[in-house]
Amino acid sequence: MSVPDGPIPMHEISLTKDVRGALAAGHPWVYRDAVARGEAPPGSLVRLVDRERRTLAVGFADEGVIALRILGLTRGALEPDLLEARLRRALEARAPFLDEGTSVYRWVHGEADRLPGLVVDLYDAFAVVRVDSLGAERFYLGEGDAPLVAALRAARPSLRGALLRKGRQETRSARLLFGEAPPDRLAVLEHAMTLLVDVHRGQKTGLFLDHRASRRRIRELARGRDVLNLYGYTGGFSIAAGLGGARRVETVDVASQALGLAQASWAANGLPAEAHEAYAEDVPAFLARAREAGRTWDLVVADPPSFAPSEAAVPNAMRSYRQLHRACLRSLRPGGLYLAASCSSHVGPERFDRTLREAIEKVPRHVRVLERWGGGPDHPRLPAFPEGDYLKCVLLGVD
């Protein structure tokens, strides 16, 4: 977005609740129930004011429970070429954390990069973009995608093309924003590990980039172990385990197309075909069958899709996590390791820990928490925005 010179036309919204403390601490949203009713179309610039009409924040309007996504606390935050400037800063902030063997990472992580509602993932020379609301789509893309396209090209001239990903599940779609389209199977590097990705049809933008540190840790722990990767998707954890010297790796996911990419990535890394088995099967059914057969592993990874897409789904999600943890803990050999992960923002760290405790109560094993982590430095979090700290990873040891 390029902010015009001179007075900037903005809608004005006033507070009905005192959220000035949250704003000062850096929370990037103002909820609908905290503002007076007004006519501010999604995507339009908004000035949030107090009773004396003093500016408290500026941002853009949205629909639903979020009334305002904040770009800054003063009018001066709307700098010229705002979008390009913040894209450049996001690139600069990630540079110290990348190595030569990594060509895929998150370029923009929405609110934490002061570009609320926008995600940009970099897959080598291609950018894949997501906007998570109507307001964000209208603000960043505007008429004919021009604001975002110009900013992406200016901030990273070496881009060969950019895709816009929209929708979820059956409504998923991809549209070329500019340049050339990425190939259907795009090879990228993560810590010198080759991963094949479908950025057109894959989940999220193609890969779960927030697990880069997790995959590296599994690679470090896998030597000589039999590894089970549940909800394995395109096999990132499996490839990492194979390269780490795992004795045998098994990948389970209900999506056979994703498992095809897992097999192809396994081969692309020069790993022996006989050391990897893929199962296109529902995970609970696979674990039940494995328990009946008395099968066990040395290392189990479980990174399921979000069990709680809304607050109303939390009770069922908690039950699903408990059942998954119990089944995984029972499938471990003595001295085994269990990496339990959750991407459900509505199941925060305390709730997730409770599912682990309640699962352990039903399993006669001595279980220890060895490590915890979340997203990497390309997925930064804001201290005042717990909603953005969605990823939980807990490594357990079982005796």
Read off the pLDDT of residues 267-302 as tens digits, 9 standing for 90 and up.
Answer: 999 999 999 999 999 999 999 999 999 999 999 999
* Beta bridge mates, 8: none
Min mean pLDDT across 6-10, 83-87, 295-299, 315-319 is at 6-10
Ranges of H-type helices in 125-255: 134-141, 146-155, 212-221, 236-243
Residue range 69-81, pLDDT digits in tens: 999 998 888 887 9
Percent of the chain with pLDDT over 90: 86
Question: How high does pLDDT run on average in the chain?
Answer: 94
Residue 167 pLDDT grade (very low, low, confident, very high; cuts 50, 70, 90): confident
pLDDT at res. 395: 98
Model confidence, pTM:
0.93
**DSSP character at residue 233:** T
pLDDT at res. 169: 64
Residue 8 pLDDT grade (very low, low, confident, very high; cuts 50, 70, 90): low
Contact by Cβ (8 Å): 196, 161: no
H or E segment to which residue 225 belongs: none
3-state helix, strand, coil in the chain (%, to 5): 35, 30, 35
C-alpha distances in angstroms, 345 versus 19, 158, 215, 309?
A: 22, 34, 21, 8
Does position 5 have pLDDT exceeding 50, yes or no? no
Does position 25 have pLDDT exceeding 50, yes or no? yes
Min mean pLDDT across 263-267, 268-272, 388-392 is at 388-392
Catalytic choice (197, 278, 339, 343)? 343
Stretch 38-62: mean pLDDT: 92
Q: Answer yes or no: 393 catalytic.
A: no
Does position 4 have pLDDT exceeding 70, yes or no? no
Min mean pLDDT across 136-150, 194-208, 284-298, 323-337 is at 136-150
Does position 376 have pLDDT exceeding 80, yes or no? yes
